[in-house]
Amino acid sequence: MGIIRSMRSRSHRVVQEQEECVGDSMRQSCWANMPQELLREVLLRIEASEDTWPPRKSVVACAGVCRSWRQITKDIVKTPELSSKITFPISVKQPGPRENLLRCFIKRNRSTQTYYLFLSLTNTLAEDGKFLLAARKCRRPTCTDYIISLDADDMSKGSNSYVGKLRSNFLGTKFTIYDSQPPHSGARIMKSRSTRLVNLKQVSPKVPTGNYPVAHISYELNVLGSRGPRRMHCVMDSIPATAIEAGGVAPTQTEFSLNNIDMFPSFPFFRSKSNRVENTLSGPLVDQKDGMLVLKNKSPRWHEQLQCWCLNFHGRVTIASVKNFQLVASAENGPAGPEHDKIILQFGKVGKDLFTMDYRYPISAFQAFAMCLSSFDTKIACE
């Protein structure tokens, strides 16, 4: 344990000294000369012992020491799907765990129209948590945009921290989620003025930064004024319907494009000489014959005694709100199976400006956050 503590403190010190990072290449330091077997054993113990935040920042620090440390750390640290942990920034673009819901919460700032996503660190509903993403609401004459960023202090489209956006129609009944980089190798970029603005900062044409539509959300119009919660329908353009089945696979981004690496000057983990599209993605391209994954509201029940619609959030939601929802997979082309009963995303109110957000495979934290942001918009025609 003494060796491990020493290694942790030294890794932090080396990361702070930026002599190791020159341009797009890193000089191999004395730390790279450690025997590979010993280094792997040390990093395995650090990864296993620092399994929660904030101690988990030691794992991130180790990835920033030098190239050999980075490669071994990449091999050791598993994606959220396998580990149920969020470690590196790219984790917010990767599907959540298969077996359980990953617990998060959202804080809303009404005065600035900003929203902040945090990873829950304990079972309590009100806490600081580990910051993951931020979003800023921007009203347009014909639509509304929610700009999503990795930086809570920089939520602009031209920023290197820009990871995507949510755009609504004029009525706030239809939304599109755009990713800043392709979710799979066959993704098509959506050309727009905002795309051109982002591309001004483009570093490599191999992975164009822009707007790639990854999901479409629609809220059913309540023309009869019937009582009940909003009815939500989500088509996940980049995720095949088979992803929820045993052995099913969803596309997984493995690293950020070159446009984003300037956000992490101290962590060479995010630098790579080759950031081609095929190197930053894994998983299948959605085949038309397989169909896209469709998510729908889990049907609530009317509680006569409470005189309200009820869903079982297992203690994660404490305040009744029309914004609250649970999403499950819709059986579009066949009978529903047990996989269609699993909650993939749930969102609900626990305070005036505090909401819980729990998600699982095959959607990512970024996609889940964007879907929850759509619930904040006022929808007179749907209620």
Q: How many CA atoms, within 13 angstroms, populate the side-chain half-sphere of residue 374?
A: 31
The confidence score (pLDDT) of residue 185 equals 58
> 120-129, 205-214, 362-371 — which one is most confidently predicted on average?
362-371
The confidence score (pLDDT) of residue 186 equals 56
The confidence score (pLDDT) of residue 18 equals 38
Count CB atoms within 10 A of the CB of residue 263: 18
Residue 289 confidence (pLDDT) above 50: no
The confidence score (pLDDT) of residue 188 equals 60
Dihedral, CA of residue 137, residue 129, residue 87 and residue 250, to nearest 10: -50
Question: CA-CA distance, 226 to 220, in Å (whole number)?
Answer: 12
| Higher pLDDT pick, 165 / 314 | 165
Residue 27 confidence (pLDDT) above 90: no
Count CB atoms within 10 A of the CB of residue 27: 11
Question: CA-CA distance, 110 to 166, in Å (whole number)?
Answer: 18
Question: CA-CA distance, 179 to 277, in Å (whole number)?
Answer: 14
* 234 close to 347: Cβ distance less than 8 angstroms: no
Answering whether pTM is above 0.85, one says no
Residue 44 confidence (pLDDT) above 80: yes
* 190 close to 286: Cβ distance less than 8 angstroms: no
Mean pLDDT of 143-154: 93
The confidence score (pLDDT) of residue 378 equals 65
Residue 21 confidence (pLDDT) above 80: no
* 198 close to 147: Cβ distance less than 8 angstroms: no
What six digits make up the tokens of 137?
Answer: 């609401």
Mean pLDDT of 359-377: 95
* 104 close to 307: Cβ distance less than 8 angstroms: no
What six digits make up the tokens of 86?
Answer: 């969020």
Buried b (16+ CB within 10 A) or exposed e, 29-62: bebbebeeeebeebbeebbeebeebeebebbbbb
Residue 338 confidence (pLDDT) above 60: yes
Residue 258: band (very low, low, confident or very high) from pLDDT cuts 50, 70, 90: low
Mean pLDDT of 266-274: 40
SS3 (DSSP) at 44: helix
Q: How many residues does the chain have?
A: 383
Kind plus residue range of the DSSP H or E element containing 63: helix 57-63
